[in-house]
Chains A and B, each alone.
Chain A
Amino acid sequence: MAQDSVDLSCDYQFWMQKLSVWDQASTLETQQDTCVHLARFQEFLRKMYEALKEMDSNTIFERFPTIDQLLAKACWNPFILAYDESQKILIWCLCCLINKEPQNSRQSKLNSWVQGVLSHILSALRFDKEVALFTQGLGYAPIDYYPSLLKNMVLSLASELRENHLNGFNTQRRMTPERLASLSRVCVPLITLPDVDPLVEALLVCHGHEPQEILQPEFFEAVNEAVLLKKISLPMSAVVCLWLRHLPSLEKAMLHLFEKLISSERNCLRRIECFIKDSSLPQAACHPAIFRVVDEMFRCALLETDGAPEIIATIQVFTQCFVEALEKENKQLRFALKTYFPYTSPSLAMVLLQDPQDVPRGRWLQTLKHISELLREAVEDQTHGSRGGPLESWFLFIHFGGWAEMVAEQLLRSAAEPPAALLWLLAFYYSPRDGRQQRAQTMVQVKAVLGHLLAMSRSSSLSARDLQTAAGQGTETDPRAPAQQLIRHLLLNFMLWAPGCHTIARDVITLMAHTAEITHEIIGFLDQTLYRWDRLGIESPRSGKLARELLKELRTQV
């Protein structure tokens, strides 16, 4: 408590000084400085109120002799009054100064003074004597017409901005850069006032004709903050303009999404999908410049976490939402694929962007083979200074979970000889960094496992141990090695699908999951599989039921 009160005194001095410098915020510098400090000042006011409400008027003045000056100065600054709830908290603070039972004339005068200041705050700052006289003459009070006056001013400014945007050549009617900058500053405290939305939208969408950015960065930051916290509702076009014009805002929006994803329940793709759709980033990403930035941030996240499966899953969900948004876009200008994926051959991009739902089931195998060929070509092509090499191709491939997660299933479902192309694709998906030798070895290993599993799928009674042996597990190799992960997933896949395995499923998992990390991995796998099955509508009722039950049980274990 004592520390709090010392802090408050320090803050008090700081803000007193600031307010004196700001005065009525009529210059560029004072306006900018006020804008930057608005949120912090409001916090200070809240703290002051908490302190003041516990004291009576006399005590307040003993503790803060200049409190009346501080509050009065704040009231004279229209930016402060316009911001969020500052005007309310100021009023509460002022109310604390009133003496319940004034003992002398000085205290009475103070009460009068407080009443006067309160009235001033609410008197809707008079201007334009003529207007005031006119409205009074008609019998109206400000409360009767201020909302519609504000509306008219906002609409008029918005249409001026639009005209400025369209009339490039008519220099007489141009809005000067100073006026534009001034307008954007003035909007900073008003962002969350719904009446001002048309003006904010116009400022974002109409960018005039200067080569460099005129609007104040504080404006963009304030709008972005309000958009992320859902305190303002702007049309998508305005949000896209915001993110195109002010890169830090886009980055902040991505970080905001990441934070939400991290702090939410692990391994729940449905929730991830909700968050992603909610963020409006997929729609915005229809604009290639935004897509590139978003993709880059995903790439960084992937590198930093060394290919964490959660990030991969997020990228897949994002891409799926993005593709859906792209379909819905009714724009006349459709951007070429190359602008989204500049380092990829157009044919590969086009194949990958196909939704498996749109391809007849019978052709899935064919499509996967084609993808494999194109990817292999890209990966093994070391010439022409291809960017990034195998990792780049892998990064591209993992975007498209619809196909990537399908490879194992396709391999397991067919009784015929597993196609080399699919084996290669599977090995590549799980370990992109492998050299040719290593990959060939993995392919051989997978082929062997597939053979064993196929044989076992025909027998009616199986034990968990049988399966484990067939998969070549239980050896001393590092359980986290990519090939091990691959085999684990093959096994799980098989287990969900093969009829004889449903009874031994739990045993298999118990044997498999000797660490918490692997349990999480299995949960992730089950969640992802169910999510994908739901989307494509390919699950068999028994498999689905089993998967759901297993998922539920495992979730309670961790």
Chain B
Amino acid sequence: MESLLQHLDRFSELLAVSRTAHVRTWDPVTVRRALQWARYLRHIHRRFGRHGPIRTALERRLHNQWRQEGGFGRGPVPGLANFQALGHCDVLLSLRLLENQALGDAARHHLVQQLFPGPGVPDADEETLQESLARLARCGSAVHMLRFNGYRKNLNLQEDSLMKTQAELLLERLQEVGKAEAEGPARFLSSLWERLPQNNFLKVIAVALLQPPLSPRPQEESEPSIHKTPGEGSQALVHWLLGNSEVFAAFCRALPAGLLTLVTSRHPALSPVYLGLLTDWGQRLHYDLQKGIWVGTESQDVPWEELHNRFQSLCQAPPPLKDKVLTALETCKAQDGDFEVPGLSIWTDLLLALRSGAFRKRQVLGLSPGLSSV
């Protein structure tokens, strides 16, 4: 067992080095050995992937490696992403070497020979490295073609395939990180927030929070462990959002009303904070007598329309949330003085607008009698 773990260590180092200029010193023998190690580890993965103790030991070693590299606050892990990655570690290594122009002539020649030996007898047991690489190329072209010839962005973000994939990856990573270290996810998410384009990140978080929980099933070798238990990952996300008010504010600002309503329905822990934010935003607006509308004082204040939109969306949510929202609005209205006349309290006006909007909607749908024109 110990030799296996050492193998893993050495291979991870190799993988990290394969990206650097250091490969200049590699000769064909080094290349061959590196590929052999990769093939060995891949074989181990196949044989012992379902074997509890060995798998756990390997995972723990990987987690150790990550911790040694500075944990999750730093940057992306240079080596293997998770245990699953062992299943194609030879492909990983091959690709990194192929991308590395620092490779010397002899090493390069040997590498190419090893990767692409040419037509031959296919291995009955496993897919050869050549086949895996060919399949990757084919798969990549397929994605490219579908992306540019068939794909259309789904307006319901949670159903969009690109968003879904990113969300699945995020959840998987969070789960992995959580296994390695209890505080891992929070630090990891914070580091991502610093490094990645924030708008996209927020969308991915929302979609991740809406992924359906899946029933447990025996893990399959061929697929990445993406569908294991989104529950844990979601919890980590909620926890982090609640602990980072700046992020949560950006989250609520950037995302469309409908999406936020869905997220809040699904994760009730978020609703008080969301409502709190909305209340804050509302209180920053004042009534402009001349124009007859509610306006903000600064440019970054949330305008009336958006506020109204969000409340309207929340009022269309199923019961527990909807009731909470209405109660909150009523409470605010009461605190302001419980006016019925418009123009004095934004909460009164909002409730009026929401009610008349609902009334209008019922009319349009033919649900209540009355004037046809509004």
Chain A interface residues (CB < 8 Å from chain B): 26, 53, 78-79, 81-82, 85, 87-88, 91-92, 95, 98-102, 108, 111-112, 114-116, 118-119, 121-125, 127-128, 130-131, 133-150, 152-157, 179, 182-183, 185-186, 189-190, 193, 195-196
Contact = CB atoms under 8 A, between A and B. Distances in A.
Given A128-B147, A150-B139, 7 more contacts: A85-B134, A92-B116, A123-B140, A141-B81, A145-B169, A152-B162, A190-B138
A138 B224 contact: no
A125 B166 contact: no
Contacts of A127: 144, 147-148
Nearest to A188: B145
B86 to A, nearest CB: 11
B126 to A, nearest CB: 16
Contact of A53 (B92, B105, B118): B118
B160 A156 contact: yes
A98 B144 contact: no
A134 B76 contact: no
Contact of B137 (A87, A131, A141): A87
Contacts of B197: 130, 133-134
Contacts of A121: 137
Interface stretch (B37-45, B96-104, B306-314): B96-104
B287 interface: no
A186 B150 contact: yes
B137 A98 contact: no
B165 A149 contact: yes
A144 B146 contact: no
Interface string B115-141: 010110000000000100110111111
B187 interface: no
A122 B112 contact: no
B316 interface: no
Given A115-B101, A140-B169, A122 B95 contact: yes
A153 B151 contact: yes
A112 B99 CA distance: 10
Nearest to A121: B137
B26 to A, nearest CB: 14
B81 A98 contact: no
A367 B141 CA distance: 63
Interface string B148-191: 11111010000111101110111001000000000000000000
Given A115-B108, A124-B136, A157-B150, A144 B224 contact: yes
B98 A78 contact: no
Nearest to B227: A148
B91 A143 contact: yes
Nearest to B101: A112
Given A98-B109, A149-B165, A118 B138 contact: no
B170 A138 contact: yes
B342 to A, nearest CB: 35
Contacts, number: 203
A134 B196 CA distance: 7
B165 A148 contact: yes
Given A119-B98, A137-B76, A145-B169, A92 B118 contact: yes
A185 B146 CA distance: 10
B142 A141 contact: no
B130 to A, nearest CB: 7
A423 B175 CA distance: 82
A421 to B, nearest CB: 62
Contact of B169 (A111, A119, A135): A135
B222 to A, nearest CB: 8
B77 interface: yes
5 contacts: A87-B138, A92-B116, A143-B95, A148-B224, A150-B142
A102 B105 contact: yes
Contacts of B204: 134
Nearest to A112: B101
Contacts of A78: 141, 144-145
Contacts of B165: 131, 145, 148-149, 152
A108 B138 CA distance: 29
B141 A135 contact: no
A102 B104 CA distance: 11
Contacts of B238: none
B192 interface: yes
Contacts of A156: 154, 159-161, 164
A82 B145 contact: yes
B240 interface: no
Interface of B: 76-77, 81, 84-85, 88, 91-92, 95, 98-99, 101, 103, 105, 108-109, 112-113, 116, 118-119, 130, 133-134, 136-152, 154, 159-162, 164-166, 168-170, 173, 192, 195-197, 200-201, 204, 223-224, 226
Given A88-B134, A123-B99, A153 B147 contact: yes
A79 B145 contact: yes
Contacts of A122: 95, 98, 133, 136-137, 140
B226 A148 contact: yes
Contacts of A149: 143, 161-162, 165
Contact of B141 (A82, A116, A118, A157): A82
B76 A138 contact: yes
B105 A91 contact: no
Given A111-B105, A133-B197, A143 B76 contact: no
B108 A98 contact: yes
A146 B150 contact: no
A334 to B, nearest CB: 37
A81 to B, nearest CB: 4
B139 A195 contact: yes
A136 B149 CA distance: 25
A183 B201 CA distance: 30
A142 to B, nearest CB: 7
Contacts of A108: 105
Nearest to B130: A88
A134 B173 CA distance: 12
Contacts of B81: 138-141, 144
A118 B140 contact: no
A131 B77 CA distance: 18
A146 B201 CA distance: 19
B79 to A, nearest CB: 9
Contacts of B95: 119, 122-123, 141, 143
Contacts of A153: 143, 146-147, 150-151, 161-162
A114 B111 CA distance: 13
Best-buried of A100, A137, A146, A157 by chain B (most CB within 10 Å): A137
A446 B284 CA distance: 109
Best-buried of B95, B139, B144, B152 by chain A (most CB within 10 Å): B139
Contacts of B108: 98, 111, 115
B161 A139 contact: no
A531 to B, nearest CB: 37
Contact of A115 (B103, B133, B159, B200): B103
B136 A146 contact: yes
A378 B85 CA distance: 73
Nearest to A127: B147
Contacts of B201: 134
Best-buried of B105, B136, B138, B200 by chain A (most CB within 10 Å): B138
Contacts of A99: 105, 109
Given A123-B99, A143-B95, A138 B138 contact: no
Nearest to A181: B149
A141 B138 CA distance: 16
B150 A179 contact: yes
Contact of B109 (A26, A111, A131): A111
Contacts of A124: 136-137, 139-140, 143-144
Best-buried of A53, A91, A138, A185 by chain B (most CB within 10 Å): A138
A325 to B, nearest CB: 34
Nearest to B132: A143
Nearest to B162: A131
Contacts of B98: 115, 118-119, 122
A125 B101 contact: no
B138 A82 contact: yes
